[in-house]
Structure 1
Amino acid sequence: MSQADLKNEINSAVEPLLPVEKKLIGWSLGIGIGLLIVLIALNQLVPIRL
């Protein structure tokens, strides 16, 4: 890429997220947080013994 292309890319307007992209972000965060809670609860119930 040339220097002019980079400047145009940086100065371009930010496009809003599509509704489907917002749903994907929400589902990903929800699943990630849910799995963390499950792992923490599992670790409390069955602690790892070395």
Structure 2
Amino acid sequence: MELTATATITKIGDEYFLPIDLALLKALECAVGDEVHFTVEGDRLIATRHCEE
């Protein structure tokens, strides 16, 4: 399966902003498999990785 996603990066001052849509989120999930869990809350992308201690 091939999945393509694009997003426009916006620079405001010294900060960069990347809007996250469902296609980009799914592409990120495919790239890292089950090792990292991505969620979107409001305007934030949250990447969580559970590691054994």
TM-score of the pair, normalised by structure 2 = 0.30
TM-score of the pair, normalised by structure 1 = 0.32
| Greater Rg by CA | 1
Q: Which one has more relative contact order, counting CA pairs under 8 Å at least 6 apart?
A: 2
Q: Going by fraction, where is helix more abundant, 1 or 2?
A: 1
Q: Going by fraction, where is strand more abundant, 1 or 2?
A: 2
